[in-house]
Structures are given as C-alpha cells and as structure tokens.
Amino acid sequence: MTKGLAVAPERPPGAAMPFQRHLIRTARFAGPVILARAGLLVMVAVDSAMLGHYGTLSLAYYAAANAAQVVMILIGVGLLQGTTILVAQAHGARDGPACGAYWRVSFVHGVVLGVLMGLICLLGRWTLEATGQEPEVAAGGGRVLDMIAWGSPALFMWVVCTHFLEGISRPIPGMLVMLAAVVVNVLLNWILIFGNLGGPELGAEGAAIATSLVRWFMFATLFVFVLRLPDARALGIRKPVTDFWAISKRLRRIGYPLGAARGLETAAFAALVMLAGHLGTVPLAAYQIGYNLIGLVFMVAIGTAAASMIRVGNAVGRRNATDIARAGWAGVLLIACLMAAFAGPFLGLGMPLASLYTDDPAVLPLAASLIGICGIILVFDGMQAVLMGALRGIADVWVPPGLQLISWWGVSLPIGYVLAFEVGIGVDGLMWGILAGALSASILLGGRFLVMLRRPIARY
C-alpha cells in the first residue's frame, strides 16, 4: 500500500453512476475553475498581443522574462494546492474552524513563496544571461522581471484566497475578480505600454508594471471578500491557529508532489523557450506566440483535471471501483473533445491567430506554422493533464511526476533539440519535441491509471 494512505472503511459501494452523468458533472465543476485559472494566461496573452504590435524586440524581452516566471508561478500554485484539498475535507465534515486554520497557515506559505519569487525575479538578468540569452534580450528581460518582482507576494496570497474559496465550494468570487482583472490589465497596458492618456511609454516594462498592479488589485479584493464572509466567524477566519506546524506539515506533504508535477512540465517548456532564444529574436518571438496559445488553452485542461481529481476522489470514498474508472475516463473523453475543438482553429487559422499578436512580416509565417503544430499538441497535452488529476484522486501522487520527468526531460527536450539544431528544421523542431513529450506522457499516465484501477481502493 502507498505510504500515507489508508483503506477506506468497508461499506456497500452502491450503484455505479452512469457514464453520461460523470461527463456532465465533471464539465459543470470544471467551468468556473477554468475561467478563474485561464484569466492569468489571458492576461499574458493580452500582454503578448499588445507588445507584439508595439515592437518585436519588446515581445522578445517579455517572452524571455515570462518563461522564467511561469515556472515559478505554476510550481507555487501546485505547492499551495493542498489548501483546496484540506479545506474541502474540513468543510465536508462541517469543521468550520479547521477551514479558517488551513487558510491562515496557507496564507503564511503564500507570503513566503511570493517573497522568494520576488527575490529570484530581481536576479532575472543574471539568470537569463546564465541560460545563454543574447545580452540585449537578457538585459530587457531582466528589467521586465524587476517590475514583476514587487507583485509576486500579491499573486500567491491571491492564490491562497482562491483555493480557500474553492475548498468551501465558492469558486464564483475568484472567477469574477479574475474577469475584472483582465479588463483592468488591458486598460493599464494601453496606458503604460503605448503612453496613452499622458502615461509613460514603457513597452515591455509597462506591461510588467501593469501586471504587478493588477495582482495587488486581485489579492486585495479577494482578501476583503474572505474577511467579510457572512459565516467568517463559523469558518474560523480570524481565530488564532494553535497547531501551525502540524498544519504546515500537512500542506507541504500534499503540495510537494503537486508542485513537482507542475514544475517538471513547465520547466521543460521554459527550457525549450530558452533554446528558441538561441535561434534568434524572430524565432523566439514566433515561439512565444505558439507557447502562449498552448498555455492559454491548457487552462481548460487544468480545470478539467481538477474536476476529475474531485470526481475520482469521491468515487474512492464510496469504494466504487466502477465509478473510479468511469470518472477518470469521462474526464479524459471530455478533455479530448474540448481540445479537438480548439485544434481545428489552430490547424486552419494559423495566420489570423498569429496576426493577433504581431504584424511583423518576418514573424507571421513562422508563427503560423508553429500554431498548426500546437493544435495537435493540445489534444495529447490535455489528456496527460487530466490523467494526472485522476491519478491524484486515487492517491497516486508520486509516481506520475516521475513519468512526466521521463516524458518532458527524457523525450521532449532531446527530440526538440535534435530536430531544431541537428536536423536543422529550426523552431518547428522544438514544437515537434513538445508533441513527442505530450504523447509519451499520455501513454505512460494512461497505463499507470489502468494499473491503479486493478489495485485495492484506498484514500488519503
């Protein structure tokens, strides 16, 4: 038996839920989570599009800086995801004070992670130079990361508040705050990138300043909402925490594998962005457009994966092996259909999609070619993400990151490098490398799910 797991109490499993109902419930749960998560990358997409029209060099600066910060963001979000799990369990047990205790302890973790990320961002220029970026790109990207640094604590404190509200089954406020933040970000970009309304014309640095301001807006709004919850007293929002270190240990025990899983995939993508930088400014700008589009649509997979994790976990609690399998495969089928729907426009509308980001005649055809490959990547990348969620639901949290390590670092990066630099097909080769890794992860994680379905039902 996996360490840290306990066999669920014996009880009648009950009738299995029809497969169609699993599909419907997974989709219903995933909707608000998708919108809330997607907002972060919508802002990145808006930043990239507006900077692409401002200047290719500014977009390259932003691309290099974004590759560095996205790795830290997704690792941090994974590390803090234990908040949702523990709060949801306490809320289901009607243990309100425990909900507040988990939020307060996780809030401290969010502050620490945010400050740490900010300090790392201040070393941005040195980090980009160490990865072999051109001096001009490293300097420009470093200035962008300097502006991102002071908004980092707000980002992770907002994440904690969002996870807490989702844990008590209130995802709508986080979604609404994110939608408002997207609008505010567009306005601030318009002022600070282009110098409208008498503002300074700052290009990529202006986009970074706008991002940090918006992150503080997001945190402040949601923090006040949490404090003013009608049932704040029953939830122990302001009650002192008496077992800080014990709760902290539980959060980290859940967060480590989740953060590792996010980080392994995203770090591999960031490494490929760095390789694109070695091909030149134009290939890097084109690659950033394709990478950004994948990341934007991938939020659909993250939301569906979260829904699948909950649905499979519920079935584990009922000790219903049929429902475990149906919930997992329902999530896989759902994401495959959703991603196939996105793949069509990627394959057929590469040039129009690229023109949303840039009007540079050197970048457009290269970006359009990459977007077509991205359409194929989406299907397999979405499937591997949802399979990861299903495996978490049945308490398999350590082996799957190892399988991702094999896929992204043992398959994706080597194939991408060989195709791009040895075979000589350039930045397209890097995208084909991502496709190879996504396909590998889907196969390995799918096999792992089949193996786990044959084992005794267990839960955390």
Which own/partner contact pairs does 174-181 have at CB distance under 8 Å and 24+ positions apart? 174/32, 174/36, 174/222, 175/32, 175/35, 175/36, 175/39, 177/218, 177/221, 177/222, 177/225, 178/35, 178/36, 178/39, 178/40, 178/218, 179/35, 179/39, 180/221, 181/39, 181/43, 181/214, 181/217, 181/218
55 burial (CB, 10 Å; 0-12 / 13-18 / 19+) is: middle
According to the model, what pLDDT value does residue 349 have? 93
pLDDT of amino acid 312: 77
Vertex 384 angle, CA 393 and 19, to 5°: 60
Q: So what's the pLDDT on residue 10?
A: 34
* pLDDT of amino acid 12: 43
Query: φ, ψ for residue 241 (rounded to 5)?
Result: -90, 125
CA distances from 324 to 33, 195, 338 (A): 22, 55, 21
**Positions of E strands within 197-330:** none
Q: What does the pLDDT read at residue 3?
A: 38
Closest CA to 445 of 407, 395, 393, 394: 407
CA distance 76 to 65: 17
**What's residue 318's pLDDT?**
64
**pTM for the whole structure:** 0.75
Secondary structure element (H or E) that encloses residue 420, with its range = none
- The token pair that represents 177 in the structure block: 């705050």
Alpha carbon 445 to its chain's center: 19
| pLDDT tens digit at each of 460 positions of the chain | 333 333 333 334 457 789 999 899 888 878 888 888 788 778 888 898 899 889 888 888 888 888 778 778 878 888 898 787 777 667 656 788 988 999 999 999 999 999 999 999 999 888 888 877 788 888 999 999 999 999 999 999 999 999 898 777 787 898 899 999 999 999 999 999 999 999 999 999 999 999 999 999 999 999 999 999 999 999 999 888 888 999 998 888 888 887 877 777 777 777 888 899 899 989 999 998 998 888 778 889 988 988 887 777 767 666 788 988 998 999 999 999 999 999 999 999 999 999 988 889 999 999 999 999 999 999 999 999 999 988 877 767 789 888 988 999 999 999 999 999 999 999 999 999 999 999 999 999 999 999 999 988 754 5
d(CA 297, CA 343): 10
DSSP letters spanning 137-165: HHHHHHHHHHHHHTTHHHHHHHHHHHHHH
The whole-angstrom separation of Cα 50 and Cα 87 is 39
Per-residue buried b or exposed e for 143-157, using 16+ beta carbons within 10 Å of the residue's own CB: bbbbbbbbbbbbbbb
pLDDT at 460: 53
The pairing of strands 6-7 and 458-459 is antiparallel
